[in-house]
Amino acid sequence: MAGKLQAPRGTFDVLPADGERRQLLRENADDLLGRAGYGPFETPAFEDTEVFARGVGQSTDIVSKEMFTFEDKGGRSLTLRPEGTAGACRAYVEHGMHKLSQPVKLRYWGPFFRHEAPQAGRYRQFNQVGAEALGSDDPTLDAELILLLAELLEDSGVESRLKLSSLGNAETRASYGEELRTFLRAREGELSEEVRARVDANPLRAFDADHPGTRAVMAEAPLLIDRLDAADAEHFAEVRGLLDDAEQEYDLDPTLVRGLDYYTRTVFEFDSPSLGAQSGVGGGGRYDGLVEQLGGPPTPGVGWAAGIERILLASDEDPDDLELPVAFVAVPRPELRRMAFGIVRALRDSGARAEMEQAGRSMKGQLKQANRIGATHVVIVGDELEVKEMEGGEQRVVADEQELLEAVLG
């Protein structure tokens, strides 16, 4: 026999039992975001590498270490998308969406790819649900998006904490970056080697370090949130006011650094205590310079993405709360198959979930199967049509198909 094949490292198959939960989550996300005006939106699973190099930023872990990049047969450098915002902005520019009425609100759902070391809740192919609002810097968009993600998590049975901060604008960030570099260089001897190597490229990441010496230094470091200019400080105060009005709790975290370079002003992250080391369940922020960086007109934007697998891992909800009646049509003898087949179709047409015996089991085996699929009713075909209620065990003969549908559907 040939050797067994396996899904590639860091990837997984979704089997139907799990697929059902994903489907419910997707329907809920579509409904929630759709009602807030976020339209369904898709981009390709791969883009020109340039989209991410320019969009996400060369100095980030994502671009420098984690991208699945390959050359196509025409020698173009392509990359499997590691995140959704850069592609959304590329599409906004490409389709001249700045000419539409603003803001343009988009929602997406699909696979993303990062070459990370796999562990629980961290994969090389994972799925995200995301939402973006482009073309307006109105603080109600920041607050609306944060509240939508909070609601999605709550509806999904995920306990989470919101961390919130503001990164100001590009100029404030640049001059703060210089201030932080100067501060870090003065205390270089106390920093980890990794942080020291990146003082020039990305000094903000020093706040993320686990290294004890570095952490001690960072406890005394200047904070960006104390350097915001008046407009950014006011924007942040408005976002906070809106969250307070909505009674959304959050922790102000002035060291919140997200692993992407494009953020300006509001940044946020939802962590779930039940996830352990990979506690980030979703996050995002404002990226007012990104569209321009990708060749478009100056355009503000704000958005988030949340990991589907992390939401499901963190959820304490029992997924099998399907409310439809479920009928199992038993086939006592093979020659009754055709009749059973017709009844299954009639049941499905009238809105029930229905399955029939399709593996040649004994009647006893068929009743077990009915139990396994969570049947509310078993239909037994034969000279007489019978309907048995699983709860209570009541069994009765019905006169015809119409009466049978009524018995199942109530």
Using CB under 6 A as the binding rule, whether residue 296 contacts ligand AMP is answered as no
Q: Which of 30, 116, 179, 386 binds ligand AMP (CB under 6 A)?
A: 116
Helix (H, G, I), strand (E, B) or coil at 333: coil
Residues 309-338 interacting with ligand AMP (rule: CB under 6 A): 309-310
Beta-bridged to residue 132, according to DSSP, are 106, 303
The structure tokens 């006592």 sit at 332
Q: Which of 55, 103, 139, 283 binds ligand AMP (CB under 6 A)?
A: 283
Using CB under 6 A as the binding rule, whether residue 63 contacts ligand AMP is answered as no
Using CB under 6 A as the binding rule, whether residue 137 contacts ligand AMP is answered as no
Using CB under 6 A as the binding rule, whether residue 38 contacts ligand AMP is answered as no
CB of 260 to ligand AMP, least distance (A): 7
Residue range at the interface with ligand AMP (CB under 6 A); choices 38-46, 177-185, 303-311, 342-350: 303-311
Using CB under 6 A as the binding rule, whether residue 303 contacts ligand AMP is answered as no
Nearest 10 degrees: CA dihedral of 243, 246, 250, 255? -10
Using CB under 6 A as the binding rule, whether residue 128 contacts ligand AMP is answered as yes
Q: Which of 139, 280, 296, 301 binds ligand AMP (CB under 6 A)?
A: 280
What value, to the nearest 5°, has the Cα angle with vertex 198 and ends 266 and 121?
Answer: 60
> DSSP readout, 45-71?
SEEEHHHHHHHT-TTSHHHHHS--EEE
Contact 378, 367 (CB under 8 A): yes
User: Two tokens at 162?
Assistant: 């919101």
Residues 6+ away with beta carbon under 8 Å from 325 = 352, 353, 376, 377, 408, 409, 410
CB of 80 to ligand AMP, least distance (A): 12
Q: What are the phi and psi torsion angles at 74 (to 5°)?
A: -90, 10
Using CB under 6 A as the binding rule, whether residue 305 contacts ligand AMP is answered as yes
User: Two tokens at 302?
Assistant: 């704000």
Using CB under 6 A as the binding rule, whether residue 253 contacts ligand AMP is answered as no
Binding site for ligand AMP (CB under 6 A): 83, 114, 116, 121-123, 126, 128, 258-259, 280-283, 305-307, 309-310
